[in-house]
Structure 1
Amino acid sequence: MENIKCVIVDDEPLAIEILQAYVEKAPWLDCIATFDSGIDAITFLNNNPVDLLFLDIQMPDLTGIQLAEHIKGKCDIVFTTAYHEYAIEGFELEAMDYLLKPISFDRFLRSAQRAQRQNEKPTLEATDYIFVKSEYKIKKIELADILYIEGMKDYLRIVTKQEKVMTLQSFSKLVPVLPPSKFVRVHKSFVIALDAIDSVEKSKIKVADQLIPISESYRETFFEIIQRKAV
């Protein structure tokens, strides 16, 4: 299994140094970037694959809570703060953990081990379908029938050739089980089936009767895929 790519965001240089030293002691973690500003971190997180974010809450300009709302679903988050009163907000944002400063190495290690367990997912067998929870039942959806998937706050709407299925799910959980040769994310709110594309014009993709936007964050990857398939 590849190491977990993590990023540290904290406006205190000493806090960053401590977390970097802790990360170096956990061989399954790789710190690929650090930031003392939430605004600077957003650009990086929107354009680079990250597995785990160690995120301070009390920061100027953009708080950790606000940053987490901006990147929701992109990676696991461990909040780091000196203020315990933010714990409820942190867990409402589905944070993986909440570390109270000063952070001991023992407490950090338990959080890092939790991240390791979450990333030790068994290899998925190639299948032609997925199962999702929808209302009070578990529904089987054939991958070949999916046109696109739209994120709607805490829900995903899976649009197929036959119907629309709402499921309480996140892209971070669903995307890894979709074959990358068949599906591509083109926007923070949209994943499309490549076979379902009718046309592409500028920043829009036509799938069935729907025009789907291509965001700057996913534009380069999408057009690279399209170029490989062009004749």
Structure 2
Amino acid sequence: MKIRCLVVDDERLALEVMEGYIERVPFLHLEKLCSTPLQALDFLSRNAVDVIFLDIEMPGLSGLQFLQTLRNPPAVILTTAYPQFAVDAFELNATDYLLKPIPFQRFLTAVQKVQSKQLDQATSIATAEQGVKPSEGHIFTKSGTKTVRIDLAEILFIEGKKDHVLIHTKARNISTQVSLSGLLEKLPAEQFLRVHRSFIIALAKIETIERNRIVIDKTEIPVGDFYRDALTKRIGLY
């Protein structure tokens, strides 16, 4: 699946750098290079893209102002030479924030985030069609040839393995082919939280938190760097 890219930057050299980077990545396809936000707006009125690489400091209309005009924006990766805009970027739900001059490795990390979200969305659609069905107080999920009912109150944590997912409860572990992201979308957000690439936890089942580890039912669960802030905010509600 190709990720369609739009680049918006008023500096010709920056456009050339991004064009070269996009050409080096097999799953990216460059749709358009635009030197002003108004050119980009005109292009988007007639075309769809999956990600916009958007410079912040541009004359007339800044990248942040342009982003605020978009009703249903695609993924956005902001590019700038100024680190002070980072808070604004993430308040506008930017996928990533790249500081110029942009190393190719850092660029690749950012586009992999976009790719991961696309794969999660595709998996979620498949899940909705055939995997997990939510109901009040419980879910149904496929485990092998069976459809199994699991009460939400029984779930301790959910663990992603290489080729399957394990739902851990006090009494049993249920194996399913549904992805972690697919399961998370079916679980009540106020009760469950993803804390690591491979783990979703039931917040009410937390026993202790120490450094980068959560203990649930004597099991130590790692907290990923990407998820630590969300955990801190959620724990603050309790």
Q: Fold-level match, TM-score > 0.5?
A: yes
Q: CA 1:64–1:216 in 2, change beyond 3 Å: closer, same or farther?
A: closer
Query: Take 2:222 and 2:230, find their aligned partners in 1: how far apart are those partners?
Result: 14
**Structure 1: where are the runs of 5+ without partners?**
1-5, 37-46, 53-59, 78-93, 97-117
Partner of 1:15: 32
Calculate the aligned-residue CA RMSD, in Å: 4.4
Whether the aligned pair in 1 keeps the contact of 2:212 and 2:224 (CA below 8 Å) is yes
CA change 1:35–1:146 in 2 (3 A) is same
Which segment is superposed worse, 190-199 or 17-26? 17-26
Give the total of aligned pairs.
169
Residue equivalent to 1:106: none
Pick closer, same or farther for the CA change 1:14–1:189 going to 2, 3 Å: same
Quote the Cα distance in structure 2 between the aligned partners of 1:49 and 1:131.
35
Matched letter for residue 204 of structure 1: R
- Give the Cα–Cα distance (whole angstroms) in 1 for the partners of residues 4 and 217 of structure 2: 39
Deviations 1:183-212 (A, max 9, x none): 111111100001111111111000002100
What does residue 182 of structure 2 align with? 173
After TM superposition, the structure 1 = structure 2 runs for residues 107-146 of structure 1, keeping only pairs within 5 Å, are 127-146=136-155
2:118 aligned partner: 76
Deviation at 1:33, TM superposition (A): 1.6
Relative to structure 1, the CA distance from residue 126 to residue 63 in structure 2 (aligned partners, 3 Å threshold; closer, same or farther) is same
The offset of 1:125, in angstroms, is 7.4
TM-score (norm 1): 0.56
User: Is this contact kept in 1: 2:138–2:149, CA < 8 A?
Assistant: yes
Please say which structure displays the higher CA radius of gyration.
Answer: 2
Correspondence for 1:217 among 211, 226, 232: 226
Question: What is the aligned-residue identity percentage?
Answer: 26
- Return the alpha-carbon distance in structure 1 between the equivalents of residues 171 and 94 of structure 2: 35
In the alignment, structure 1 residue 208 sits paired with structure 2 residue 195:
no
Instruction: Give unmatched runs, 5+ long, in structure 2.
Output: 8-17, 20-29, 49-69, 80-89, 96-103
Provide the TM-score with structure 2 as the length reference: 0.55
